[in-house]
Amino acid sequence: MAEHEGALRRVARIYAGQRADYDDLLQEIAFAVWGALPRFEGKSSLRTFLFRIAHNRGIRFLAQHRSSSSTRGSAGDDFADLVDTQPDPESTAISRQKHNHVVEAVQNLPLALRQILSLAMEQLSHREIAEVLGISESNVAVRLHRARQALRALLEKNHGR
């Protein structure tokens, strides 16, 4: 878990808009991974296996919490601790602001596009993403292209870039 904790945290962020929801989902993912590890047969990479579990838990979490809370919360200081800090305070503030703009834009994308972007940002191949989401590699390529276009449009619209 320690080796993949950062990636699993980022996956949880896709599905949870509020910090309390995020913490709950992260705990659910950890329990699901712990319970599923004995069934890992090595047919895929361990990383792909973990992402599949995390995404499945995220989808289940959304279904359970859809009526009670929004999955598209503010990307402000609530998740500031997920940003890497830099020695220069001004650079850190600028970096955090850019990060928050991107996170907020990603949170405003439809779920299918958020999933694709998050897995691509984790450096998973098209084949691995297809395994995690249970779709074809060609579908991954199409969704990833659409996700990048949509993200670019949102960033330009919201932040004048």
Per-residue pLDDT of the chain (161 residues; tens, 9 = 90+): 788 888 888 888 888 877 788 888 989 999 999 888 888 888 888 888 898 899 889 888 888 876 554 444 444 445 544 444 445 556 566 666 776 777 788 888 898 898 898 889 888 999 999 999 999 999 999 999 999 999 889 888 876 64
Task: Please answer whether residues 10 and 102 qualify as being in contact, where contact means their C-beta atoms are separated by less than 8 angstroms.
Answer: no
Tell me the residue length of the chain: 161
Determine how many CB atoms are found less than 10 A away from the CB of residue 70: 12
Q: Which residue has the tokens 């990603």?
A: 106
**This prediction's pTM:** 0.60
Rounded Cα gap, residues 22 and 12, in angstroms: 6
CB atoms within 10 A of CB 139: 16
The residue among 74, 133, 80, 141 whose CA lies nearest residue 106 is 74
Question: 145: closest CA among 115, 110, 106, 117?
Answer: 117
- Contact in structure between 151 and 106 (CB atoms under 8 Å): yes
Q: Which residue ranges make up each domain of the chain?
A: 1-72
What one-letter code names the amino acid at 100? N
How would CATH label the architecture of 1-72? Orthogonal Bundle (1.10)
